[in-house]
Chains A and B, each alone.
Chain A
């Protein structure tokens, strides 16, 4: 049972948790005490998403190593499956978005991000776990920071520091509009892109998790009331099933879109002319 549900269930009467506060979602498993960092007090703790992330990384490592240990020209079934996923990222995402000339250095990065986000997202609907790690803002922020550093670093390495800003302005524009374009492009490159990248992944996973909690736990609450409400809980659970299937699709899509956009930004930094 997710911690969100564990908090919402006992409060049938009395105080209401609606509308929910972000502090409702801070439910650490083990606390290690507080430290003073940057002037504010921060609690060191192990939380459930951290445990799920460790579990996912362990599973991923086991899967990738086990299927590629005895890599042969004629692949076994495990190796064929891993190769299918790898080819999907390498050809469908990296080569199409970055271009066939210099996409290879980025394929390990993109493949790792794709399988990491995908497995973590799918943990949101696998029964014993049911915790999408990316539904807590810290994790998408970490991944977005990596992408942010990579595409800026690549752009500056290719065009030089001053050339990077010159590269943001396309050629053949009237002179009076160039500062406006530069301002807009800087806003896009430095603010909008990382913000939207992180928030898109976070929002989708968070909203999907809440949706499932609402239907499953709401159905349970309805079931316990008796009478007509118990009859309504069955459609609620059917909706929960439909939402679970929909969530599986959305989770795959969000992992794909994150990697697609990361590859697009890297490719955009590598083109010769804007």
Chain B
């Protein structure tokens, strides 16, 4: 079996952030559904949370390219 194990590592590392981002936006949608006026207040928090959760998936991608 030939191939690159770092790609396997990246695939495994992408599971967590994907679930995390889904949870964050599920909470955001729930919040806006319960109280539509809160949309402007919740949006920066949702974007911030999304960027922080996504960051780990991005690190995994970068580590794949630099073959650490």
Contacts and interface: CB of A to CB of B under 8 A. Distances in A.
Q: Do A and B come from one complex?
A: yes
Interface of A: 19-20, 22, 92, 96, 196, 199-200, 202-204, 206-207, 253-254, 256-257, 260-261, 264
A196 B62 CA distance: 12
A125 B65 CA distance: 22
A199 B51 contact: no
Nearest to A24: B65
Given A20-B65, A22-B66, A204 B48 contact: no
A199 B48 contact: no
Given A200-B58, A206-B62, A207-B61, A253 B48 contact: no
Contacts of B51: 200, 253-254, 257, 260-261
A19 B4 contact: yes
A260 B4 CA distance: 37
Contact of A260 (B48, B66, B67): B48
B36 interface: no
Given A19-B4, A22-B66, A196-B55, A203 B47 contact: no
B52 to A, nearest CB: 8
Contact of B62 (A19, A203, A254): A203
Contacts of B67: 19
A257 B62 contact: no
9 contacts: A20-B65, A22-B65, A22-B66, A92-B44, A200-B51, A200-B54, A202-B62, A206-B65, A260-B51
A206 B60 CA distance: 13
Majority SS of interface residues in chain A? helix
A45 to B, nearest CB: 21
Contacts of A200: 51, 54-55, 58
A199 B54 CA distance: 11
A183 B64 CA distance: 29
Contacts of B47: 253, 256-257, 260
A96 B4 contact: no
A92 B61 CA distance: 31
Given A203-B59, A206-B61, A207-B61, 16 more contacts: A19-B4, A196-B52, A196-B55, A196-B59, A199-B55, A199-B59, A203-B55, A203-B61, A204-B58, A206-B62, A253-B51, A257-B48, A260-B47, A260-B48, A261-B51, A264-B48
